[in-house]
Structure 1
Amino acid sequence: MAQNLVGRITVGEWLDQWLAAKRIRKSGISRYETDIRIHLKPRIGHLRLDRLRVSHLSDMFTAIADGNAEVLEQNAQRKAAVAELATVPWKGAEHRARRKAMKEAIDAMPAIRRVTGPTTGLHVKATLRAALNDAISQQIITFNPAAHVEIDPVRKPKALVWTDERVEKWRGSGEKPSPVMVWTPQQTGAFLDSVAEDRLYAMWHLIAFRGLRRGEACGQPWSETNLDAHPLTVSAQLVQDGWQVETSEPKTDSGFRVIALDDDTVEVLKGHRERQEADREEWA
């Protein structure tokens, strides 16, 4: 009887059990939960776990791609309607009635949504593969279809430098040449000059000159920042999970590292710490 009950478990039921038993950092759980809630349970959650096949997963990813096309079309329709509304004058009873009808039509349209890109698809596949591997280790199933389904590859975007020509084209069209754009030293200097009086200038300076990631710079403790001998030890970072922010260790061993501080950066950090101490005394 127990074996029969195990055999009847659905994919959705197993994913719920698997997620509840995971013991990983909160941000990782959030990623798994999103994949399961948004993609896996709605599309394959009803299937029996022991009858899940590669074809089911191929159909799922095809449906996700088809959904992307629908989302893009609906987004375009809503944007076109909003653009048309902006051309209708405010004055006049006829115009007001037309604007009201157009607003009601726009409100009835689906909200602007993001498409599910290749990276998200890879995350969904990885989540399911991990869950099914655990099911195999518990001898609930013997085959992992997520290890064999083929999906679109993820191509890392090529980083491009913001040359004068690319800046000019971007200002004219509003389109970035690449999702990953790199400032020139002159552009970095111009940015730092523009935020010289910002309360977080030390963070911007640290990121620009010493290469810390955003979460690392935000979470860097003074206890690991030696302003006398000039080493900075990266051992913590701030991680955002929805609306919550928490401190965690770097994800990998390579994330733990010691960075040498130049004299200018040390002076900037000393000034920042003095301002923090003054603020603490003022607000105490």
Structure 2
Amino acid sequence: MPTQRKRNPNGAGTVTKRKDGRYQAAVYVLQPDGTRARKFAYGKSWAECDAKRRVLLTKVDQGLPVPTKSTKLAEWLPYWLDNVIKPRRKRTTYAKYEMHTRLYLSPMLGSHRLEALGPRHIRAFLVDLAGKTTPATAKEAHRVLRTALTAACREELVGRNVAALVEPPKVVSRETSPWSLDETLRFLQEARKDPLYAAFVLGIAMGLRRGEVMGLRWSDVDLDKREIKVRHQLQRIRGELYEDTTKSGKVRPIPLPLICVAALRWHRLCQRAIAERNGASVAPDSYVFTTRSGRPVEPRNLSRSFARLSAAAGLRPIRLHDTRHGCATLLVAAGVAPRVVMEILGHSQISITMDVYTHVTSDTQREAISHMDRLLKRRPGRE
């Protein structure tokens, strides 16, 4: 039998023999709330207890929390948000997760301890939440909870992710009907004199997201080569306007159609004229779309102007984001390959492009189905 150590170095824990003949290991470990507490492990032999001590010390070295008592969901969620989500995910994602945690998960499920949380609790929670809000909100809350419990499994706080055992509520997809080509042209005609005309052209002709349009800088625009590089997006979260990377985190170079080149040239001339009247100049890396005082345009104001101009043109109301749908539809109808459409719109998967953003027009459907007439009218033996 190997010689037993009676005393370990400071911070390495201890192994002692109890009066009942068993052995006890004690190690100071990190708690989910950031504090430290003493964790005990027991065994029939010194070697068994020492092995458990080493396992606890490994978790201490890795910074993993080891609760000394059963952790409630309401205690785990704040730790997960601040230490797992905040350092690794976008601020928009953190804000969305925090909102679901604060409004729904903690008040309605937070009193349950992690190891006692079962599928029936989550199923009842989803039914209750869908009734109070919408099935879409309940489905998103389920996704947040599943992500939080996945992290709890990685840190060995629970043995399984019970949220993954429960199906989320079914949500009826919102039917999107983007403008036709004629409606789009009517809008552009109405918006031609608006200061944000070039922004609308970029959204309609290139399918840029609202934040990407507002985050565009002149240093990312090359009108001579007819190309822009989409590398930023402008967002407002909790009252703060900030610049972030694109949704995919990648820089997206896109060729400019002539209608965008002309609109941007005119916009630059107008912007320089306003700056000169104010005794200022336009910096090479300044935002393309600014107010008269040179500050970035609020993304929400772009949506408001879009709605105002749509009503002035007598068009049926759609969201500004629906122009991305319309862009994909026009590109597909023009025969552009889906992979190219995906790269232009900045999607991470081709399925998103085809399933969500491609809305084939009735004229395209008629043209496609007309091929059946030629095929079925062919008589046997006749080529």
TM-score (norm 1): 0.70
SS in structure 2 of the partner of residue 2 of structure 1: strand
Deviations 1:86-117 (A, max 9, x none): xxxxxxxxxxxxxxxxxxxxxxxxxxxxx333
The answer to whether the aligner puts 1:138 opposite 2:155 as a matched pair is yes
Alpha-carbon distance, 1:46 to partner: 0.7
CA distance in 2, matches of 1:204, 1:266: 13
- Identity over the aligned pairs, expressed in percent? 30
The answer to whether the aligner puts 1:55 opposite 2:72 as a matched pair is no
The answer to whether the aligner puts 1:116 opposite 2:139 as a matched pair is no
Q: Which of 1 and 2 has greater Rg?
A: 2
1:95-244 equivalences under 5 Å are 115-118=133-136, 120-158=137-175, 180-244=176-240
Amino acid in the other structure paired with 1:43? M
Verify the 8 A CA contact 2:135 2:169 in the aligned structure 1: no
CA distance in 1, matches of 2:135, 2:166: 17
CA distance in 2, matches of 1:246, 1:40: 28
Verify the 8 A CA contact 1:6 1:140 in the aligned structure 2: no
Match of 1:276 in 2: 271
Give 1:35's match in structure 2, choosing from 95, 100, 111: 100
Task: Identify which of structures 1 and 2 has the higher relative contact order when contacts are C-alpha pairs closer than 8 Å and 6+ apart.
Answer: 1
Distance verdict in 2 for CA 1:271–1:28, change over 3 Å: same
Alpha-carbon distance, 1:155 to partner: 4.1
Distance verdict in 2 for CA 1:185–1:5, change over 3 Å: closer
1:232-271 equivalences under 5 Å are 232-252=228-248, 256-271=251-266
SS in structure 2 of the partner of residue 182 of structure 1: coil
Verify the 8 A CA contact 1:49 1:141 in the aligned structure 2: yes
Alpha-carbon distance, 1:234 to partner: 1.4
SS in structure 1 of the partner of residue 228 of structure 2: strand
Amino acid in the other structure paired with 2:134? T
Amino acid in the other structure paired with 1:54? P
CA distance in 1, matches of 2:171, 2:240: 29
Verify the 8 A CA contact 2:135 2:170 in the aligned structure 1: no
CA distance in 2, matches of 1:222, 1:156: 38
Distance verdict in 2 for CA 1:256–1:157, change over 3 Å: farther
Match of 2:90 in 1: 25
Match of 2:354 in 1: none
Alpha-carbon distance, 1:31 to partner: 0.5
Amino acid in the other structure paired with 1:181? S
Match of 2:109 in 1: 44
Match of 1:97 in 2: none
For structure 2, the 5+ residue unaligned runs are 1-37, 41-65, 281-383
CA distance in 1, matches of 2:212, 2:228: 11
Amino acid in the other structure paired with 1:235? R
Deviations 1:11-52 (A, max 9, x none): 000001111213122111101101101110011101111211
The answer to whether the aligner puts 1:2 opposite 2:20 as a matched pair is no
Amino acid in the other structure paired with 2:125? M
Moved over 4 A (4+): none
Alpha-carbon distance, 1:58 to partner: 0.5
CA distance in 1, matches of 2:232, 2:67: 45
Alpha-carbon distance, 1:5 to partner: 4.8
SS in structure 2 of the partner of residue 245 of structure 1: strand
SS in structure 2 of the partner of residue 28 of structure 1: helix
Amino acid in the other structure paired with 1:150? E
Alpha-carbon distance, 1:245 to partner: 2.6
Deviations 1:139-193 (A, max 9, x none): 11111111111122334333xxxxxxxxxxxxxxxxxxxxx22111111111111
Alpha-carbon distance, 1:60 to partner: 0.4
Give the length in aligned residue pairs: 214
Distance verdict in 2 for CA 1:6–1:16, change over 3 Å: farther
For structure 1, the 5+ residue unaligned runs are 68-114, 159-179
Distance verdict in 2 for CA 1:244–1:117, change over 3 Å: farther
CA distance in 2, matches of 1:28, 1:65: 21
Alpha-carbon distance, 1:220 to partner: 1.3
